[in-house]
Amino acid sequence: MPADAPAIRLLIGLGNPGRQYAGNRHNVGWMILDRLAARAGARFSLEKKWRTEVARAGDLWLIKPQTFMNLSGEAAAAVASFYRLSPASCVAVYDDKDLPFGVLRLREGGSAGGHNGVKSLIAHLGTQEFPRLRFGIGTGRTGGTGRAETVGFVLGDFSPEERTHLEKRLDRATEALNYAARHGFAQAMNHFNRPEPDFPPAPPAPSPPPTSDAPSTP
């Protein structure tokens, strides 16, 4: 790890609380952190003062904000402030509908790309210069999509065909985060942003239309 690179200390999984959202594509950030915590022998517990679930895995803090997607930055900023962590040491982990299913992309900063959870992180951390791991959920469509159709897609569960590849891709994401913590985020980008010709992404299936009480847009 370069001497001047901040150590990764906090992983922020983006998702929506509630059993009905647990398997949604929009909750893949939580799926990744759940897997990482389980493999480290860590357990999440609710910290009411921060409105987030928290786990400790070695030198890493893992959080799953319980505020719904659009307010995720509130919990993230509170935890970062308490532990005096810079945004550059906090990694956001979330879904990206503009990437093919299962593809990983690591970036050191950038815009929200239309993702409301990331918009909230930018607003509350006061910068867009924080690292992130994006997990592709793909739209499986070649044309444009309306807002309602997009919300229905991200708040839908992974299709049976996607699930045949999902476990392997979640493993790959946890590997990327552990690698970033050990070797630095720049090294992780070089290693995990490479094409993976041995992995054929599964085409997503269309999802049913959203309900009127959908908690978030992507």
Per-residue pLDDT, 145: 52
120: CB partners within 8 A, 6+ apart: 69, 70, 71, 72, 73, 74
Q: Is 152 helix (H, G, I), strand (E, B) or coil?
A: helix
Residue 165 appears among annotated catalytic residues: no
SS3 content of the chain, % helix, strand, coil (to 5): 40, 15, 45
H-helix segments, the chain:
28-39, 72-82, 116-125, 147-154, 160-183, 185-192
Query: Catalytic pick from 26, 165, 183, 191?
Result: 26
Q: Is the dihedral of CA 93, 32, 117, 53 positive or negative?
A: negative
Provide the whole-model pTM. 0.87
Per-residue pLDDT, 150: 79
Per-residue pLDDT, 79: 98
Q: What is the pLDDT along the chain (218 residues), one digit of tens a residue?
A: 445 678 999 999 999 999 999 999 999 999 999 999 999 999 999 999 999 999 999 999 999 999 999 999 999 999 999 999 999 999 999 999 999 999 999 999 999 999 999 999 999 999 999 999 999 998 655 344 566 677 889 999 999 989 999 999 999 999 999 999 999 999 999 999 988 776 665 555 445 445 444 455 55
Q: Is the dihedral of CA 166, 135, 56, 67 positive or negative?
A: negative
Q: What is the largest CA-CA distance in the chain?
A: 50
Which domains are delineated in the chain? 10-192 (3.40.50.1470)
Dist. CA 172–CA 157, nearest whole Å: 20
> In the chain, what is the straight-line distance between the N-terminal and C-terminal CA atoms, in Å?
33
